[in-house]
Structure 1
């Protein structure tokens, strides 16, 4: 007997396919990463990330205006200071590059949400995310003293006008420390987007070119998660929720869709997926060589993140996605 059910009936027309589509990616889902550097008139393309630039504050403000006009609701700021030291001074100083960029963007585009990466690796002379054991060449970070640095950094960023604090250092107790610091400084309303499940990934290579944050020795496996682990991610998010996180992030995204799914199933908090630099650069390189259709591959990837459970997507493709959406 011929099948009664014919799934192809609902695929027969483009409009019908749109009507029954289960997941939709909109510009409202997107957060666009930007890299701030000292100087004026600087727009230096990152060689390993075509279309992504290190921007001085004046150029970054221009970019922020364009982002807002495209309907993208938020950016996340990373900073490259002119000098680095063991105290990560550029991360928490009131005149730090992220603080300057945040204040300038909020003055120029007040309705654009500015999230700030709250980490130390871009600002330390050794490239690790906190204080190191004296003479330790393995990259083992002193956890509790580093929490005080992160707390100072978050408060300084809040004073500069940040709308979201996004700590990414994977220190034990970092959400609680930052929440306490923000509350004590009068920023009880400021939300925390925690990099709750951040893996020690090879996909970060191009980002380290952009942020000039590669460790000078060792690696970050003593604090970022082992890519082989899944259940550990649930433990990390449980701790961050208990410490006061308002939103949770999984980073990277493409090879960790199972983690996005498990995190979303385990919590009712908003979940963000970070479509990281290596994921971006692979698609860009293939597209520039004519090997793939960039728009189709990017959108298929974005739908994969949404299908896995992501509510928000941090992606370097954000402006392209917004333009493609306008053209539809």
Structure 2
């Protein structure tokens, strides 16, 4: 009995330390992207590495909070926290110690958690009605006014509709890429996918895996709302989109969650395509970190040279990536 309790305690401790180390690394990723990629491409010095992921969240913690113009302010404020918890659960599910809980350590659970994170953007936009985004000029709503029944237009509403559109078809490439390794392992459980690759080699080095890796990267950028797929928060028309009214500690959580999601998606790739789960007690965690940095590097280069896609460019790109994802699955089944 004592031995079982000791093993369980060691597993919990390993998960906690792994998550803490990964979280610390994630706070540096936005700074690495901005200083060593964007700034170098733009031939400028750039901000300190700690600025976007560490100093900015700390700064916002000491800012004065605002009361959002929302019909459900409590839920609106809770959404960034929910997003962070979702990303945390995904990272925990990827650790080998979570494989004892099949309901958590499966692709169905991973996809479900990612969908929750996406739905939060729709709710953020739907629940925010900031005065900055009311259509100008402001209609006169006093009694007897000529425009009494004029419908107000909010930037957040536009962003919410775009988020819903991205949920409907924009995330297809990522989910197809996630299920491509299943065609080799013949299982949706992470433990089986990892074990199969440890025996037969990384899925990445197969034809199906190579195609799926390209599709995964496109989906990676879509889920992170990064250029050119940042349509839900394009500064040219919707400014900050669903994040418009987040200030103080809530804005801080938004900054932290972005870096954490960048790391978690990179770790997810290393688990599904290389067969290496993250654990602090194994030197292979360096491979997880290397994969994360490679994804940050590629995303930074790609986003620096591309404008925001409109529907005219977005739909063909997503359709092409979706077809590639289907091709990778078909090749994996052959």
TM-score tier (shorter): under 0.3
Structure of higher RCO (CA pairs closer than 8 Å, 6+ residues apart): 2
Higher normalized strand content (fraction of residues)? 1
The TM-score with structure 1 as length reference comes to 0.25
Normalized against structure 2, the TM-score is what?
0.24
| Rg (Cα) greater in structure | 2
